[in-house]
Amino acid sequence: MTEYLLQHLLDNLHSSTKDKILMNCSESTITVEEFYSRSNQLANCLKDVGIGRQERVALCLQRSVNSIIAMFGVLKADAIYVPVDEKIPVERFSIILKDCEPAAIICDSTTLKKITDTIPLIGYFPKIILLDVDNSIVSQIKYDVVPKNRLKTYPTSKPYYRNIDTDAAYILYTSGSTGKPKGVLVKHLNVINYINWSIEYFNIKINDVILSTAPFHFDMSVFDIYCSLKTGGRLAIATDNLMLFPKKLINFIEEENITIWKGVSSLLMYIARTGALKKSKIESLKRIIFAGEVLPTKYLIDWMECFPNKFFYNGYGPTETTGMSTCYWIEKPPKSSEERIPIGKACNNTEVFILNTKNKLAKKNETGEICIRGSGLSLGYWNNDKETRKHFVPNPLGTPLGDIIYRTGDLGLLRDDNNLEYISRKDDQVKWMGYRIELNEIENFLIALDYIKDASVIMVEADDKKDRNLVAFVEGITKKQIESITTDINRHLPKYMRPKRIIPVDHLPRTDRGKKLKKDLIQLLSNPSYY
């Protein structure tokens, strides 16, 4: 069968194998047949209650197999799923719902209260589908609710699909620079292109076991979910509790015989820092892909020296380009913690290039903005034409009419070996005393020091707006060690790159996706209790 819609991946798998365990989470397992039947029931229910083609359906569910069943139920109903972090405050949840205006919300017993608290704030009443609650519990809810026992009455047969591959499959909300979340609208075609490349590049087979650690409202989970559905490889979903304790996660990898893991860099860094890496552990794990943010080289060295027989890959790609746009296989451990790890070459059917400040193709080793074109490019931002036009722009290199590129806002360069290298965010580049400074370069130097766990550097303006200074927030040190850091900085960094202040912190603020929250660091300057 031709695969041009994401739900075709499941349909094709069902036609070839039905009894195989497809996913497991905690003590719950589900076969291909059960997954297929339950997603069809949900799709037929959504159609019956009036959900139309390309209407949005929000998902607010505990991390479980049910979350992925919900995704496929929505896809099979020709609609667009919008996964939302079940832990976010009601106020932020209401902002997302007001923006995407879902016709229905799929939830469970743990998130039902959040839904009923949020609906009064959005000005209308979407239908509520409950995956694990029956009539006896929901009878007192005043909203239009479909409980579990009614859901189970719908047929398990596959509905008729009307979507095409350029229709949207899902919306993922990311933090906007203005403080308002931006919804990235991703097509079926985008994901099919990404998954086909991933399976070929990483040689994923039906006997592989893929570890899922990324939140389902995060684009890194796309690899986990759809590679398993395409190949029939088992998806082992790690619970939030496992990810809080590295030794428990390592044990889970062993118990489940995990073979492939695409993990956020901050989680790999956390595991290395806690001493959970042991040479005798996780023998089944063959391929480790890290992405989401730069993994400090010294922690990569820890992983590679501990596990010399495993394959390590550095992946790069914004949410706006679906998954990975480039990838680099790291064949040998870096020689030093100061060494930069390339992001590699473009994935299939993708072109990645560097534009200089004159909108021309940058020369080799010339820093410029990383730009991406190809079948991975999403449709842009839902309900936000201004931001879409700002970042998804006509290709300035004179390619055919209508060709669009995505300007990532990331700085990088093309090396002599034709591998791309990530430098920093454009907004992490500052100018001071006539010098152009990459804050990321200072951070990399600090993190490379043995006694520092992590670091983040910002430029801070003085109260009178007449002076600006570099401030470094450093994790893993005491105030007594500041003198040692200052000595190392003065020995290795030019004067204009030396932070004026060094502030020890217990931990750097991060998003749930592992990215550093630099805007929150400003607040720490006036909150000494943090450090």
pLDDT tens for 39-98 read 999 999 999 999 999 999 999 999 999 999 999 999 999 999 999 999 888 988 999 999
Q: What is the dihedral of CA 330, 331, 335, 340, to 10 degrees?
A: -20
Whole-number pLDDT of residue 366: 97
Cβ atoms 421, 413 nearer than 8 A? yes
Tokens 């990838």 sit at which residue? Answer: 327
Beta bridge partners of residue 172, listed in sequence order: 184
Say if 350-423 and 433-530 have the same CATH topology: no
Q: In sequence order, what E strands does 305-349 have? A: 311-316, 326-330, 345-346
Helix (H, G, I), strand (E, B) or coil at 474: strand
Tens digit of each residue's pLDDT (9 = 90 or more) over 114-140: 999 999 999 999 999 999 977 766 767
Return the CATH number of 433-530, one of 3.10.50.40, 3.40.50.740, 1.10.10.10, 3.30.300.30: 3.30.300.30
Superfamily of domain 350-423: Luciferase; Domain 3 (2.30.38.10)
What is the mean predicted confidence (pLDDT) over 180-186? 92
The residue extents of the domains of the chain are 32-163, 195-342, 350-423, 433-530
Number of C-beta neighbours around residue 362 at 10 A: 19
Whether the predicted pLDDT of 430 surpasses 90: no
Token representation of residue 355 = 């534009």
Cβ atoms 54, 46 nearer than 8 A? no
Separation CA 257–CA 448 (nearest Å):
33
- Closest by alpha carbon to 391, among 412, 375, 377? 377
CA distances (Å), origin 166, targets 163, 187, 189, 191, 252: 8, 6, 6, 11, 38
Token representation of residue 322 = 């679906």
Tell me the fold of 32-163: Rossmann fold (3.40.50)
Which uninterrupted H or E stretch holds 380? Answer: strand 380-381
Token representation of residue 373 = 């074109």
Distance, C-alpha 401 to centroid of its chain: 32
Tens digit of each residue's pLDDT (9 = 90 or more) over 443-475: 888 988 888 888 989 888 765 445 678 899 998
Tokens 């930069």 sit at which residue? Answer: 340
- Torsion sign (Cα): 396, 401, 402, 403: negative
Tell me the fold of 195-342: Rossmann fold (3.40.50)
Q: What is the DSSP letter of 319?
A: G
Separation CA 177–CA 471 (nearest Å):
21
Write down the pTM of the prediction.
0.88
